[in-house]
Amino acid sequence: MDINWLQDFVCLARTLNFTRASYERNITQSALSKRIKALEVWVGAPLLERSSFPIRLSRAGEEFLPVAKAAIIDLLRIRDEIRARDTSGLRYSVFAATHAISITHLPPLVRHLERSDPSIRTRVMSDNLHECCRLLMDDACDFLLCYRHPRIPITLDENRFSRIDLGVERLIPISVPNEAGAPVWRLPGQLARPIPHLAYPSGSFMEAVVSDLLKQKRDRQNQPVALNVRHMDALSESLKSFAKQGAGLAWLPESSVKNEIDAGTLVPACDGGFQCTLTLSMFAATERLDQTGLSIWALLSAQSYSLTPGAHHAVPMPWTMAAEP
């Protein structure tokens, strides 16, 4: 038995679509199908009705689904409780964060917390937004740190969790500069020569944000954009690497390209349009937090920040304003 088989089955039971489930599980459809068949061999009965379209759970699958969900939750909780303690039995506060946020915002946030309370110990679980939301819903982490957008829902029942909005920053289109310092790839582009686009994969949160931004431009300003997707990656750091090589234009969180903009190796690909504001938010089930977790929540909740987008670079988050001792 492999816990991945259970997670695959639960994901497939929710989506009832091998293509969607394989994308969410970040494996090929062939690998997903082999895992589900292996689980069926272990259970001793078919879990799916494959003859129907869309697929549906068999009677055995419907009986096994709640057992699989409970097993995953119990296994992850026990595993993370063990991981969250060192040999002295000390407790770690566990943050789930998307990859970009774990690189840009989480380190200074943790330092901010440590300056306020040196006893705080933290552990980070970095993954895509869907998996980070699942970690919080499965009680496998204490806090979820992610971006939000007013028109793009995330895969989280926000009514179940408390939320703190920590700050805002812009998602901006980025290009390498030419010899004059102007962007090589400049929006909106020309239909005869579309801009090579370094894109987020379909179905991801960032892809939905960029698609919404482009739709707003078309609908409100009648300004179509000439883009040609040349590369696709869920990691903004990977897209930044391609952008730095001159492979095309990418929409990136401003905090992730601040150093490159300062150095002149990357430049905004427009004069202020084609960008939008993201809110950095933290979620938690406060009733499940221990005393340290409650202290962290109270500390961030009590601080009042006045953050507005519009600066040339990323809007500073509150913890970046405190000088290092």
Nearest to 168 by CA among 316, 304, 312: 316
- List, for residues 250-308, the tens digit of each pLDDT value: 999 999 999 999 999 999 998 777 999 999 999 999 998 989 999 999 988 876 443 33
User: What does the alpha-carbon distance between residue 257 and residue 261 come to, in Å, rounded to a whole number?
Assistant: 6
Spatial distance between the Cα atoms of 108 and 105, rounded to a whole number of angstroms:
6
Pick the CATH number of 3-81 from 3.40.250.10, 3.30.365.10, 1.10.10.10, 3.40.50.970: 1.10.10.10
Domain borders along the chain are 3-81, 91-325
| pTM score | 0.70
Q: CATH classification of 91-325 is 3.40.50.12500, yes or no? A: no
206-215 burial code (b ≥16 CB/10 A, e <16): bbbbbeebbe
Least confident range of 28-32, 195-199, 240-244: 28-32
pLDDT tens digits along 198-233: 999 888 899 999 999 998 887 776 767 889 999 999
pLDDT at 189: 85
Same fold, 3-81 and 91-325: no
d(Cα 29, Cα 21) in Å, to the nearest integer?
A: 8
Average confidence (pLDDT) over 109-132:
88
How far is it, in rounded angstroms, from Cα 207 to Cα 67? Answer: 34
Q: What is the mean pLDDT of residues 103-124?
A: 89
Site of tokens 């939000």? 148
